[in-house]
Chains A and B, each alone.
Chain A
Amino acid sequence: AQTVTQSQPEMSVQEAETVTLSCTYDTSESDYYLFWYKQPPSRQMILVIRQEAYKQQNATENRFSVNFQKAAKSFSLKISDSQLGDAAMYFCAYRRSQGAQKLVFGQGTRLTINP
């Protein structure tokens, strides 16, 4: 079974600084998708960024970028120029490419932005 591990329960960063959230996963599949979701206090799940495993290029979305290391099964999220609105729980998630579309989530990292 696939597993996703986030080893940082909490992280904090100064506003305007850069922070990196870690995620590792375990799978025997070669084709899959990886995601970072943000969950603010409202509890709404918001997709931050997505990476397709067959793509070598790291995904980027404005201030958010990932460092995808397929061989190491690592998928970290970098947030640049941190803003107060970035404060939330961040979940790393895995989904197989074929078959069931269910997401497997990591334990989450609570990110605090210090003004």
Chain B
Amino acid sequence: GAVVSQHPSRVICKSGTSVKIECRSLDFQATTMFWYRQFPKKSLMLMATSNEGSKATYEQGVEKDKFLINHASLTLSTLTVTSAHPEDSSFYICSAAILGRAQGRNTIYFGEGSWLTVV
């Protein structure tokens, strides 16, 4: 079946540095990928919608300059947390929709998620 891979699964970075998380669709092309953030014991909060070849669409309240999203190809989207602070520590998870099916039948697949700890 379709697989979405995230890397790294866990990352620790120092406060003030930037960290990049990759989301890859391994066996299908994804024109659209989504980035979510999940706080402990909470639900998934959509951060942005990433479209291949165009600027990401951010949800209200999400800082565009802090959470840089790039979707350079049909199989790769990246989330860069810039000037990370301890409050950015969280679980980040991406998802991707399969290209080519009728839109109404698109299936969304999730990556394994990435734990970010900022110290």
Of chain A, the residue at the smallest CB distance from B107 is A47
A103 touching B34, Cβ below 8 Å = yes
Q: What is the size category of the interface that chain B forms with chain A?
A: 20 to 34
Minimum distance in angstroms from B62 CB to a CB of chain A: 13
Which of B14-22, B71-79, B91-99 is near enough to bind chain A? B91-99
Cα-based distance from A44 to B44 in the complex (angstroms):
12
Q: In the complex the two chains form, what is the Cα distance from A43 to B38 in whole Å?
A: 10
Supposing A97-B104, A101-B103 touch, asked if A45 and B110 sit within 8 A by C-beta, the answer is yes
Q: Is the interface of A mostly helix, strand, loop or mixed?
A: loop
CB–CB A106/B49 < 8 A:
no
Q: Which of B81-119 contact A (CB under 8 A)?
A: 91, 93, 95, 97, 103-104, 106-108, 110, 112-113
| Closest-CB distance, A65 to chain B (whole angstroms) | 20
At the interface, yes or no: A68 with Cβ under 8 Å from chain B?
no
Provide the residues of chain A in CB contact with B93, threshold 8 Å. 43, 45
**A20 at the binding interface (Cβ < 8 Å):** no
Cβ–Cβ contact A105 & B43, under 8 A: yes
B46 close to chain A: CB less than 8 A: yes
A101 with B113: CB separation less than 8 A: no
B97 contacts A101, CB within 8 Å? yes
Q: Nearest-CB distance from A44 to chain B (Å)?
A: 6
Binding site for A on B (CB under 8 A): 32, 34, 38, 42-44, 46, 49, 57, 91, 93, 95, 97, 103-104, 106-108, 110, 112-113
